[in-house]
């Protein structure tokens, strides 16, 4: 659940006085888009992204002479000239949920992870969060999803779990999602079985409504 | 008319899965009875089932997995890994016999003793992975047949067509980097159905990139979407691949009457895909086609679907 379990620990970093060319090469070679900028004591001072580099480069539609002059000028620029200083960072003790919510708010692709002294400990990217939630959803384990519509009151989940457990089926995960009707909830058990027909019959016999898969919805778009 | 073989052995009924399990011995009882009542048995050449040599099963599965299945059967452990995979003491022998019968079928087809064949076997195979029993499957029958064709009959291009309503995760895993085995599967979309693999983005890997193709169907969809996807995704690709032998994972659980999925195929649609596959074998593989039973759990409709399928193999 904590960031330090899901972050990349061997971070590729760069110093503030390195050239842009070096930053670009590091990103290309390692297939990454974010380079935390650190001092020798690993204190985080900024972050430079592939977008920062592209914004600094001359437009490819300029006349060749101008491109050449610009490149000449850019070659003298240093990482500290184009980086985002003091970027939003997150602590190793923060949770994946914190990172998700923060990423939605700040709209960046990665957070440097720093300790209380401001030293870099790792980096967590949107890809790390995706991987974590693929695990949570059990998407790569063989199983099948069911969609059940329930009244929004205490005790419903127990009945579902009991009914499924009586069939001897194990759970990969259970998601609960909001329904457009506030008195209802959608429950999505991910079952580690191919034999869902029997479980479905059992749930129906226990009085649950199964939702048409084409009506399944895990996400509600923000209201405008 | 073509000469068509039938693999069926009463010992395939000995693998017992307990009460209320969809993959039950009665599936084969009704299939065999259906073929008998349809007057097909006299027209089919019977292929004997004999136990497979371990070396062929181990072309696909780890010795450890084989041992686990044997141990779980003999100790009567009840299930292997999940309640899906129910075992009885005879399960291991039945699974070995099914594989052996299929390898005999390969020999019959390759020796020209029959042109094509249907294998009415249990347990099914396409979910079984090298190290894992999954979804009622212990040994991957169709994959072992393909490996046997490669090793014993030196076949370079094998086409596997899987129309079971579930993705053949095991078969895909085994051949995803093998450019000599083309694997096509059409199934209910993995976000809605077991086993959760087989998205259209999975296309094989390394040298096998492009010889794995998946088509997915949404719950509620039927013949129209099925035919559209087969025409778009399977037919041009297999035309290009030119298989020397066609293997089929024949699952009949996408039928509208079968409650194992939300897919609603008609009886006629199964005949349509059967004919398309026979046409492929006619054009590319000198009629060599081996169709192996996978799923199909509605005991009412299953005999009719299999009878039609076998009728198409015979070219009636």
Name the residue among B289, B195, B292, B197 with its Cα closest to residue B252. B292
pLDDT digit string, tens, across residues A36-68: 999 999 999 999 999 999 888 888 888 888 888
- Cβ distance B135 to A142 less than 8 Å, yes or no, reads yes
Please, what CATH class does the domain formed by A138-215 belong to?
alpha beta
Rounded to two decimals, the ipTM of the complex is: 0.76
**Residue-level pLDDT at A63:** 87
- The mean-pLDDT minimum among A146-160, B148-162, B200-214, B228-242 falls in A146-160
**Residue-level pLDDT at A57:** 83
What's the number of domains chain B is made of? 1
Name the residue among B71, B102, B77, B91 with its Cα closest to residue B23. B91
**Closest chain B residue to the Cα of A145, Cα to Cα:** B192
Residues of chain A with Cβ-Cβ distance to B297 below 8 Å are 197
**Residue-level pLDDT at B134:** 96
| Burial (0-12, 13-18, 19+ Cβ within 10 Å), B206 | exposed
Which residue of A139, A142, A199 is the best one to mutate when testing the B interface, meaning the one whose CB has the most B CBs within 10 A? A142
Q: What is the CATH number of the domain that holds B66?
A: 3.40.800.20
**Residue-level pLDDT at B69:** 97
Query: Domain locations in chain A?
Result: 3-135, 138-215
Residue B315 — pLDDT band, cuts 50, 70, 90?
Answer: very high
User: How high does pLDDT run on average in chain A?
Assistant: 90
CB B286 within 8 A of CB B112: no
Query: Which has more confidence, A135 or B139?
Result: B139
Residue A140 — pLDDT band, cuts 50, 70, 90?
Answer: confident
Residues of chain A with Cβ-Cβ distance to B194 below 8 Å are 142-144, 193-194, 196
Residues 197-226 of B with CB under 8 A from A: 197, 218-220
Q: Up-side HSE of residue B223: CA atoms within 13 Å toward CB?
A: 9
Query: By residue range, what is the domain housing residue B289?
Result: 4-314
Q: Does B141 touch chain A (CB under 8 A)?
A: no
Provide mean pLDDT across the span A4-28.
94
Residue A197 — pLDDT band, cuts 50, 70, 90?
Answer: confident
CB pairs under 8 A between A and B: 65
Which residue of A137, A195, A199, A217 is the best one to mutate when testing the B interface, meaning the one whose CB has the most B CBs within 10 A? A195
Residues of chain A with Cβ-Cβ distance to B220 below 8 Å are 212-214
**Residue-level pLDDT at B233:** 97
pLDDT digit string, tens, across residues B12-48: 999 999 988 999 999 999 999 999 999 999 999 999 9
Map chain B to HEC letters.
Answer: CCCEEEECCHHHHCCCCCCCCCCCCHHHHHHHHHHHHCCCHHHCEEECCCCCCHHHHCCCCCHHHHHHHHHHHHCCCCECCCCCCECCCCHHHHHHHHHHHHHHHHHHHHCCCCCEEEECCCCCCCCCECCECECCECCCHHHHHHHHHHHHHCCCCEEEEECCCCCCHHHHHHHCCCCCEEEEEEEECCCCCCCCCCCCCCCCCHHHCCCEEEEEECCCCEHHHHHHHHHHHHHHHHHHHCCCEEEEEECCCCECCCCCCCCEECHHHHHHHHHHHHHHHHHHCCCCEEEEECCCCCCCCHHHHHHHHHHHHHCC
Provide mean pLDDT across the span B243-261.
97
| Burial (0-12, 13-18, 19+ Cβ within 10 Å), A107 | exposed
- Cβ distance A212 to B134 less than 8 Å, yes or no, reads no
Query: Which residues of B are part of the catalytic machinery?
Result: 127
Residue A181 — pLDDT band, cuts 50, 70, 90?
Answer: confident
- Cβ distance A142 to B134 less than 8 Å, yes or no, reads yes
**Residue-level pLDDT at A224:** 62
**Residue-level pLDDT at A218:** 74
| Burial (0-12, 13-18, 19+ Cβ within 10 Å), A154 | exposed
Check whether B157 has a pLDDT greater than 90: yes
Residues of chain B with Cβ-Cβ distance to A193 below 8 Å are 82-84, 194
**Residue-level pLDDT at A223:** 66
Provide mean pLDDT across the span A130-155.
87
Q: Which of A145, A167, A196 sits opposite B191 (nearest CB)?
A: A145
Please name the CATH architecture into which domain A3-135 falls.
Answer: Roll (3.10)
Residues 167-206 of A with CB under 8 A from B: 167-170, 192-198, 200
Name the residue among A113, A77, A147 with its Cα closest to residue A5. A113
Check whether A203 has a pLDDT greater than 90: yes
- Cβ distance B135 to A168 less than 8 Å, yes or no, reads no
């Amino acid at each position: 659940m904590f960031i330090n379990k899901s972050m990349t620990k061997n971070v590729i970093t760069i110093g503030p006085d390195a050239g842009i060319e070096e930053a670009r090469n590091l990103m290309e070679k390692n297939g990454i888009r974010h380079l935390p900028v650190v001092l020798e004591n690993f204190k985080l001072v900024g972050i430079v992204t592939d977008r920062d580099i592209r914004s600094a480069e001359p437009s490819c539609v300029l006349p060749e002479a101008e491109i050449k002059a610009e490149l000449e000028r850019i070659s003298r620029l240093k990482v500290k000239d184009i980086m985002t200083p003091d970027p939003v960072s997150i602590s190793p003790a923060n949770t994946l949920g914190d990172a998700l919510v923060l990423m939605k708010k700040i709209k960046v692709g990665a957070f440097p992870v720093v300790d209380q002294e401001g030293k870099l400990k790792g980096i967590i990217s949107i890809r790390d969060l995706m991987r974590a939630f693929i695990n949570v959803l059990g998407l790569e384990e063989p199983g099948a999803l069911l969609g059940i519509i329930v009244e929004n009151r205490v005790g419903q989940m127990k009945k579902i779990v009991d009914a499924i457990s009586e069939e001897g089926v194990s759970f990969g995960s259970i998601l609960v999602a909001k329904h457009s009707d506030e008195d209802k909830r959608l429950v999505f058990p991910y079952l580690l079985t191919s034999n869902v027909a029997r479980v479905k019959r059992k749930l129906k016999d226990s009085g649950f409504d199964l939702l048409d898969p084409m009506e399944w919805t895990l996400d509600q778009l923000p209201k405008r | 008319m073509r000469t068509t073989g039938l693999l069926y052995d009463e010992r395939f009924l000995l693998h017992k899965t307990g009460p209320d399990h969809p993959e039950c011995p009665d599936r084969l009882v009704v299939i065999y009875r259906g073929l008998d009542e349809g007057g097909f048995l006299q027209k089919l050449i019977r292929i004997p089932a004999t136990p497979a040599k371990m070396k062929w099963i181990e072309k696909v599965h780890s010795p450890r997995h084989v041992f686990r299945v044997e141990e779980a059967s003999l100790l009567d452990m009840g299930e292997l890994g999940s309640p899906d995979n129910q075992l009885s003491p005879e399960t291991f022998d039945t699974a070995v016999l099914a594989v052996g019968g299929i390898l005999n079928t390969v020999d019959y087809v390759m020796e020209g003793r029959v042109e094509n064949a249907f294998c009415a076997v249990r347990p099914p195979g396409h979910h079984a992975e090298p190290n894992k029993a999954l979804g009622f499957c212990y040994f991957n029958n169709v994959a072992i047949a393909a490996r046997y064709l490669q090793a014993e009959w030196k076949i370079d291009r094998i086409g596997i067509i899987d129309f079971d309503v579930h993705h053949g995760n095991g078969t895909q895993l085994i051949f995803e980097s093998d450019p000599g085995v083309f694997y096509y599967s059409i199934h209910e979309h993995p976000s809605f159905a077991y086993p959760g693999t087989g998205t259209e983005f999975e296309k094989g890997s390394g040298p096998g990139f492009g010889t794995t193709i998946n088509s997915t169907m949404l719950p509620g969809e039927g013949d129209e979407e099925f035919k559209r996807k087969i025409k778009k995704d399977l037919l041009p690709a297999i035309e290009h691949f030119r298989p020397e032998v066609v293997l089929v994972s024949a699952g009949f659980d996408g039928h509208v009457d079968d409650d194992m999925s939300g897919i609603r195929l008609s009886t006629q649609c199964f005949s349509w895909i059967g004919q398309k596959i026979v046409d492929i074998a006619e054009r590319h593989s000198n009629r060599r086609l081996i169709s192996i039973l996978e799923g199909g759990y509605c005991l009412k409709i299953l005999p009719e679907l299999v009878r039609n399928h076998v009728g198409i193999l015979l070219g009636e």
